[in-house]
Amino acid sequence: MTHLKKSHLLIGVGLVWITLSRIFQGDQTLELATSENTSFTSSVGDAAASIRGNRTKGAAFIYFFNPIRAAITGFVEIIRSIISVPSGNSIIPVIGWFGVVAIVAFTVYATSRLRTAILAVSLLLACGALGMWQFTMDTLAMTFASVLLSLLVGIPVGIWAGRSDRVLKILTPFLDLAQILPTLVYLAPLALFFLIGTASATIATMVYSIPIAIRITAHAIRNLNQSPIEAALSMGSTPKQTLTKVQLPMAKQMIILGINQTVMAALSFVVIAALIGAPGLGKPVVDALIIRNVGQGFVAGFAVVFVAILLDRSTSAAAKAQESFIPLTSQQIRRGRIKVGLSGLLAIASIFASRSVLSLAVWPGSINISQQVEDVTNHATKWITTNLYIFTVGFKDFISNWVLNPLETLLAFSPWFVTLSAIVLIAAVIGGIRVAMLATGLLTLIVLSGLWHEAMITLTQTIVATLLTMGIGITLGIWVGRSSRAEKVLRPFLDAGQTLPAFVYLIPMLGLFGPTRFTAIATGIVYSIPVVVKIVSEGIRSVPIAMIEAATVAGSTVRQIITKVQLPAAKKSILLATNQGMIFVLAVVVIGGFVGSGGLGYLVILGGSKPEMQGKGLVAGFAILLLGVTIDRIAQASARRT
C-alpha cells in the first residue's frame, strides 16, 4: 500500500466518520452521569469494599500485605525521624537542619566538586526560606527510601537482564507497560491493598522507578566493549569474576546515570503520591490545587523545583566525575583525600551543633519569605490574565471552540460503534491487521467497562495536546537541529523541563487559564515539548551532510532544504517523537482532572476521595491503561511501517 493510497484511505475514513457523526450525533454515546455507576463499576466497588473489610482477617493481608506495609512504613519512618520528624519526647529530629545542610554539602562535594556542593546548599536553604523545610525533608526521606529500595531490586535484575537474552525478553513487555502507564493509575490499587500512607506511596514510587533502573543497567551491561570481557574469560575468569572485575567497573558511569534517572523518577512520583497520603512537598501542591490558590501553589512548586534541580545536578555531577580516564597522581589523590577528610570533620561538627543549638536544629521561623512570594505570584498572575487577555483567555477560547469542541463532538458524541470502527480502520491503515485487531480488543474492553464516553473525552484532549505539542516541538526541533547556538540556548530549558515533576506544571497553567480543560492540555504541552524537541533535533542532526550539500548545490533555499530533505529524512524520528509526546501528554492530561479536565482522570481522583465511587475510579484507571496501550501500539506501528 503506497503512502498516497494510505492518505486517501485515511481521508475517506475521516469523511465517512464525520458524515455518520452528523447524522447520528448524540445517539448511543454511552454517556454516564458522574455520580452513576454501571453494574460493572458497582461490582468492582463491592470487591474493593470486600478487600477493605478483609484487611484484619484475610490470610493474604496477615501474612503478606500487612507485613510488607509495616516493614516499609518502619523503614521510611526511621529516615524521617533522622532528618524530619522528632521521635519520642524530643522536640527535634536526630539531625537538625544545619546538620542536614552539612551532610548534603559533604556528600555532593565528595562525589563531584565544590561548585555543585555550593549550588546544592543554596537550593536547600532556599527551600527553608520558602517555609518548606519540613515538607522538603519529608520529600527527601521518601525519595531516599524509594530510590534505595528501587536500586536494591533494579540493579541486580538489570545486570541479570543485561547478561541473559531470555530474561530481557521476558521483562521487556513489563518494562514497556510501565513506560506507557500514566502515574495516576498506580495509586488507587496500591492504596487499596496497602492503605493510604507512606507504604503505598513508597511501593507506588518503586513500581514507577524500578523499570528505569533495570533498563539503564541492562543497557550498560549489553553495550560494553567485548574485547576486555573476552580477554578476561580467555584468562580463566569465572562469570562472577568477569562481572565484578570487568563488566561492572566498565559500566560504572552508565549505572550512575541510571541512578540519576531513578532518583528523578522517584522524586516525580513522590510528589504525585501525596494523593495517597505521602508526606512531603506534594501535600501543599495538592492543597493549593484544590483551593485554586496559585500563589500558595507557586511557593510549594518552587520548593519542588529546587529539590529536583538539587538531586539532578548532584547525581549527574557524580556521573560526570567518572568520565576522565586519566589517572590522578599520588599528590592529587593525597590532596583530594585531605580535603574530603577535612570537609567530613566539618560535617560531623555541624551535626553535633545541630543537636546542641536550638536555632540550628529547627529552621528559624523568622527566615520565611513564603508570604512575599505568594503575594508577588498572585499579583503577577492577575496582571497577566488582565493585560494579556488575548494570550490567555483568547487563545484558550480559540483552541476550545475551533479544535477541542469539534474533535470532542466527533469522538465522544458519535455513536460508540461508529467511533470504535473508525479508530480500528485508522489503526488498520496505519499499522496493519494485527494492530487493528489489538485496537479492537482494547477498545471493546473500554466499552464493556462502561466508561467509553469519558475515555473519548480523555482521548480528545490527548490528541489536541499532541497536535499542539508537535507543532511547537517540530519547529523548535528543526531550529535546535540546525543551529548549535540554538541548542546552547535551549538545552538548559529542555533539561530542566525533563527534570521537573509533571504535577508542578499544573500550578502556573492554573493561574494562566483557570480550572478548564485547556489547563490540562497546556500542561501536557509544556511537559511534553522537551522530549519532542530532543528527538526531532537528533533526527534533523543525523541527516547525512551529503544530502544537504547536494540540495544546496542544486539551488535549494533553506526552506526547501528543510521541507524537501531534512524533514523527510528525519521522518522516523518525528514519528518516534509523536509517540513519546502522546504518551507524555496522556500522563499529564489524566492528572488534569484536578483542574477541571474531566474524563477518566477526574474519575480516578473522585474514586480516591469518595468510597461510593471507588469502583468507578478503579475501572477508570484500567481504562486509562487500555487507552494508553492502544495509542502506543498504533503510533509505534506507524513508525515501524514508515
For 59-111, what is each residue's pLDDT tens digit?
A: 889 989 999 999 999 999 999 999 998 877 778 899 999 999 999 999 999 88
Which band of pLDDT confidence, cut at 50, 70 and 90, is reported for residue 611? confident
Question: Is the pLDDT assigned to residue 327 strictly greater than 80?
Answer: no
- In 3D space, the residue among 165, 159, 168 whose CA is nearest the CA of residue 243 turns out to be 159
Residue type, 553: V
The per-residue pLDDT for 316 is: 79
For the residues of 284-305, what is the DSSP string, one character each? HHHHHHHHT-HHHHHHHHHHHH
Cβ-based neighbour number of residue 9 at 10 Å: 16
- Rounded Cα distance between 300 and 117, Å, is 23
Per the prediction, the chain carries an average pLDDT of 89
Which band of pLDDT confidence, cut at 50, 70 and 90, is reported for residue 326? low
If one compares 240 and 517, the residue with the highest pLDDT of the two is 517
CA dihedral 108→114→120→124, nearest 10 degrees, is 100
Question: Is the pLDDT assigned to residue 328 strictly greater than 70?
Answer: no
- Determine whether 383 is exposed, middle or buried from the number of CB atoms within 10 Å of its CB (0-12, 13-18, 19+): exposed
Confirm or reject CATH 1.10.3720.10 for domain 389-414+452-634, answering yes or no: yes
If one compares 379 and 503, the residue with the highest pLDDT of the two is 379
- Rounded Cα distance between 218 and 161, Å, is 6
DSSP secondary-structure letter at 544?
Answer: -
- Rounded Cα distance between 220 and 153, Å, is 16
If one compares 593 and 17, the residue with the highest pLDDT of the two is 17
Q: How far does CA 497 lie from the centroid of its chain? A: 11
For 335-374, what is each residue's pLDDT tens digit?
A: 878 888 999 999 999 999 998 888 899 999 899 999 999 9
Count of H-run helices and E-run strands, the chain: 33, 0
For 209-231, what is each residue's pLDDT tens digit?
A: 999 999 889 888 888 777 887 78
Which band of pLDDT confidence, cut at 50, 70 and 90, is reported for residue 392? confident
State the sign of the Cα–Cα–Cα–Cα dihedral 429, 430, 434, 438.
negative
CA dihedral 494→500→506→507, nearest 10 degrees, is -100
Question: Is the pLDDT assigned to residue 530 strictly greater than 60?
Answer: yes
Cell 525533608 belongs to 137
The per-residue pLDDT for 227 is: 81
- Rounded Cα distance between 573 and 539, Å, is 5
Q: Cell triple for residue 516?
A: 478548564
Q: At 272, which helix (H) or strand (E)?
A: helix 252-272
This prediction's pTM: 0.89
On whether the CB atoms of residues 512 and 392 are closer than 8 A, the answer is: yes
The per-residue pLDDT for 121 is: 95
The per-residue pLDDT for 388 is: 84
Average pLDDT over residues 526-549: 91
- Rounded Cα distance between 589 and 524, Å, is 6
- Rounded Cα distance between 510 and 517, Å, is 10
57-378 matches 389-414+452-634 in fold: yes
- In 3D space, the residue among 532, 533, 529, 509 whose CA is nearest the CA of residue 396 turns out to be 509
On whether the CB atoms of residues 517 and 598 are closer than 8 A, the answer is: yes
The angle at the Cα of 195, spanning 191 to 199, to the nearest 5 degrees, equals: 85
Cα-based distances in Å from 505 to 80, 109, 268, 279, 529:
27, 31, 12, 20, 12
Cα R_g (the chain), whole angstroms: 26
- Rounded Cα distance between 291 and 284, Å, is 11
State the sign of the Cα–Cα–Cα–Cα dihedral 213, 214, 217, 219.
negative
For 417-476, what is each residue's pLDDT tens digit?
A: 999 999 999 999 988 899 999 999 999 999 999 999 999 999 999 999 999 999 999 999
Which band of pLDDT confidence, cut at 50, 70 and 90, is reported for residue 52? confident
Q: Cell triple for residue 403?
A: 479544535
- In 3D space, the residue among 267, 301, 270, 370 whose CA is nearest the CA of residue 508 turns out to be 301
Percent above pLDDT 90 for the chain: 52
The per-residue pLDDT for 641 is: 63
Question: Is the pLDDT assigned to residue 3 strictly greater than 60?
Answer: no
- Rounded Cα distance between 249 and 243, Å, is 9
On whether the CB atoms of residues 433 and 555 are closer than 8 A, the answer is: no
If one compares 624 and 321, the residue with the highest pLDDT of the two is 624
Question: Is the pLDDT assigned to residue 248 strictly greater than 70?
Answer: yes
For the residues of 60-95, what is the DSSP string, one character each? HIIIIIHHHHHHHHHHHHHHHHHHTS--TT-SS-SS
Q: What b/e readout covers 339-369, taking b as 16+ CB neighbours within 10 angstroms?
A: eeeebbeebeebbeebbeeeebbbbeeeebe
Residues in the chain: 642
The per-residue pLDDT for 617 is: 93
Average pLDDT over residues 140-150: 94
Q: Cell triple for residue 149?
A: 529500595
Return the CATH number of the domain spanning residue range 57-378: 1.10.3720.10
List the domain boundaries for the chain.
57-378, 389-414+452-634
For the residues of 369-392, what is the DSSP string, one character each? -HHHHHHHHHHHHHHHHHHTGGGT
- Rounded Cα distance between 561 and 571, Å, is 14
